[in-house]
Amino acid sequence: MKPTVISTFAGCGGSSLGYRMAGFHELLAVEWDQNAVDTFRLNFPDVPVYHGDIAKLSGAECMRLAGIKKGQLDVLDGSPPCQGFSTAGKRKWDDPRNSLFKEYARLLSELQPKVFVMENVTGMVKGCMKQAYLTIIKTLRECGYKAKGEVLNAMYFNVPQSRERVIIIGVREDFGIEPSHPKPQTKPVTCRMAIGNIETDKEDLPFNPQTKIANVMRYLKEGKSDPSHQSHVKIPIDRPCPTLLKDFLGYMHFWHYSNFRPLTLLEWKRLASFPDDFQFTDKKEGCQRIGNSVPPNLMKAIAEHIKVNILEVARKT
């Protein structure tokens, strides 16, 4: 029988794809963003979706939708919105976006799965936000779990992108198993290895680079700055791609390492370890969804580790 998972803050399904590749059966996805839900349903038509505010989803309703009882679920997964912890932002503990982890913890307490996985940005363990991290760990442990967090970089898990994230794994206390994380599995995959064989048509580009260049030159002549406020950086040839940004301006920021053009959506997929046939509603939304997702290959490694080192061990004891 396949191990089961419920994904909260599911987005377009980056984590879900990783669990599926690891042999899990997803019982329910929870997501409020309309485009993310539309994209998820395109790629996971057989997975039920709760489209709404997680704060309004009770544990009882969650279990009803998933067809399970308390304690039966194998893994509760979640990546609460992390902008309030990001080093790119103001990093305020009282940012309302930081409180959503409490809703995740509430469901964790009510569902009592065997294992939980919670992902967030590394900003939550740096500087003044370390106290926030300790508060999160304390809250999760009070739900009845042994919990441990580690920083994992996706580039060591067959993802051609340097993307560090805090991964907190918890095991229900009654199993008596200490939580653990997967060790690095691969050498970094370079951009050339990931996208070097892609032939690009002008129709694949998110915008006309010549028009963009002309506009930048016009702004400079007029003594103005580029309204996109984006620098234009070539991705490296023989190193992994830097962390992909979560919005459409990411398209305008990273450019191909040898061709004078922005990256295509197919190239974004490759650099984030999404399969070529993964569907998005359009190029702009696809960029946003990918930049806001857990790379599937990273989550596959985490899910496989949990399956072998925690769930299978628990079944034998």
User: Phi/psi at 120 (nearest 5 deg)?
Assistant: -160, 175
- Estimate to the nearest angstrom the gap between the alpha carbon of 153 and the chain centroid: 12
Q: In what order do the strands lie in the sheet with 164-172?
A: 49-51, 25-31, 4-8, 75-78, 115-121, 164-172, 145-153
Positions annotated as catalytic residues are 82
CA dist 228 to 190, 225, 256, Å? 28, 9, 19
User: Virtual CA dihedral for 161, 280, 297, 80, nearest 10 degrees?
Assistant: 90
Pinpoint the alpha helices (H) of the chain: 14-21, 34-43, 59-66, 100-111, 130-141, 191-195, 209-221, 249-253, 265-271, 283-291, 296-306, 312-316
Q: How far is the C-alpha of 214 from the C-alpha of 212, rounded, in Å? A: 5
Residues 66 and 27 sit within 8 Å (Cβ to Cβ) = yes
- Burial environment of residue 48 by CB neighbours within 10 A (0 to 12, 13 to 18, 19 or more): middle
